[in-house]
Structure 1
């Protein structure tokens, strides 16, 4: 068996999780300006609003959404994360409208609601590390295994990981918004490997890399197609799509990553 020299991790639902359900955090942010909105209505509206924005441009993720939004509204440019915040502003607005809020009240308070939610979901205020995340990374480093992040997310992931005190030697942190390419594209995985080799002066090969994440297509299949090994994380109790996992290597805890390498 090939020795694993590098482990890359997905972020959301792999290393970190919302400190409280997203729809609950939205409800708390909405309340001072829009009154009480039912959290379940917010949950349903969030999913619908996200899907509507995505499907309207035949997309399923934030990078493609940002690009489509830039084509639809050319003023939205990548300037200090402005495009990302504007896109999220639209998600937040549609979520509130779909949950029954008054559109006029929303438009009059978005400038307060959006910064509140963006700040929350950029820090430990909005997210917590899974109990097995930091211990697993420490144990991998003790075994002289390098670690990095490969995530379909924006620059806030870097802020969250720093605020949750993930080690600085979890590097590089390769994020789809910054790269303009996303998982399951093999390109994103290859960029991460190339940078690890450049940073440390190494020559790690694809088959000496292991990627761990919770999405079958983006994480497991993407890594395998990139020539790497993959582990699909299926935490007990997590909401997962019913998919065929025959011949897919799965784990229930990040502790099993240490055992695998």
Structure 2
């Protein structure tokens, strides 16, 4: 039996899976900064694009475990790391879309609590001991990752949003996340810098790289897909390829150094022909080049 934050919750497995929608073929937008038109809208991925864990997630989980009575010698940061991967895969197979279509529907908080329980069992914890600590461990981890204790914005993230808005460019987000991410965005002072609310998988029941989720994002921002709408993200398939297939422009951000443990990277990625940027400042610089061509009397904006 699974314990959730709201007590005993009976979840019934459903076979629903996010399906890829067939969308009309549209003219492909250029992925190159040589595109002549002005930039109208910039869409950003969230994790590993605008923000990153303050420390590896599995280490943060282990810190919270040490605050409980769950002292199994087999539970370590590495065992949690592996246990999380197994639990996350299980949850997405049995209760996709964060349990939205289970009967009865599951709240995202309960979905994550069940994932945490499974993670700890897979990490080596005794099942009964894990059940006993869940009333404390579950809320502690949920609250941690809904705050700036779990995540931090990249140094240039907030100023990038501010500078783009000052230039009259719309900004919003596209994420395969549930509504809990909204609390994180508030805590990181990102929400109030957006032109429009984020487009989330939970809300639109679509998932990157499905082209339809990018088209939904454009619609919610009052823009049509095509040249002048740029998607910025760190995942080649989900963010870059998905946006290109939807008819948007795309920029793949790959910062120098190591990436977070949760970042999706193929062992041998083919980046030939892919427009790669090293930081978000490059997006602002591109907007300066392209939009000043349309408004030559306006000087470039200085960093905030």
- TM range, smaller chain: 0.7 to 0.9
| Aligned pair partner of 1:238 in 256, 259, 265 | 259
**Residue 70 of structure 2 corresponds to residue 34 of structure 1:** yes
Q: CA RMSD in A?
A: 1.9
**Residue 271 of structure 2 corresponds to residue 251 of structure 1:** no
The residue that corresponds to 1:2 in the other structure is 37
Q: CA deviation at 1:134?
A: 0.7
The residue that corresponds to 1:95 in the other structure is 119
**Residue 251 of structure 2 corresponds to residue 216 of structure 1:** no
The residue that corresponds to 1:200 in the other structure is none
Is the radius of gyration larger for structure 1 or structure 2? 2
| Aligned pair partner of 1:44 in 82, 86, 94 | 82
Greater fraction helix: 1
Q: CA deviation at 1:181?
A: 1.1
Q: CA deviation at 1:128?
A: 0.6
The residue that corresponds to 1:155 in the other structure is 179
Uncovered stretches (5+) of structure 2, i.e. residues with no partner: 1-35, 288-304
| Aligned pair partner of 1:181 in 189, 192, 206 | 206
**Residue 135 of structure 2 corresponds to residue 107 of structure 1:** no
Uncovered stretches (5+) of structure 1, i.e. residues with no partner: 198-202
The residue that corresponds to 2:58 in the other structure is 23
**Secondary structure in structure 1 of the residue aligned to 2:197:** strand
Query: For the Cα contact (< 8 Å) 1:11–1:157, is it kept in 2?
Result: no
- Cα distance in 2 for residues equivalent to 1:67 and 1:157: 15
| Aligned pair partner of 2:215 in 183, 190, 209 | 190
Query: For the Cα contact (< 8 Å) 1:9–1:212, is it kept in 2?
Result: yes
The residue that corresponds to 2:109 in the other structure is 85
Q: TM-score, normalised by structure 1?
A: 0.86
Q: CA deviation at 1:204?
A: 4.8
Q: CA deviation at 1:21?
A: 1.1
**Residue 226 of structure 2 corresponds to residue 226 of structure 1:** no
Q: CA deviation at 1:241?
A: 2.4
User: Cα deviation per residue 1:214-247 (whole Å; 9 max; x = unaligned)?
Assistant: 1111111111111100011112222632211111
The residue that corresponds to 2:99 in the other structure is 66
Q: TM-score, normalised by structure 2?
A: 0.74
- Cα distance in 1 for residues equivalent to 2:89 and 2:221: 35
Q: CA deviation at 1:167?
A: 5.1
Structure 1 segments (4+ residues) deviating >3 Å: none
Q: CA deviation at 1:33?
A: 2.7
- Please show how residues 109-124 of structure 1 align to structure 2 within 5 Å: 109-124=133-148
| Aligned pair partner of 1:172 in 162, 173, 197 | 197
Alpha carbons of structure 1 residues 161 and 94: separation in structure 2 relative to 1, 3 Å = same
- Cα distance in 2 for residues equivalent to 1:185 and 1:51: 19
Query: For the Cα contact (< 8 Å) 2:100–2:202, is it kept in 1?
Result: no
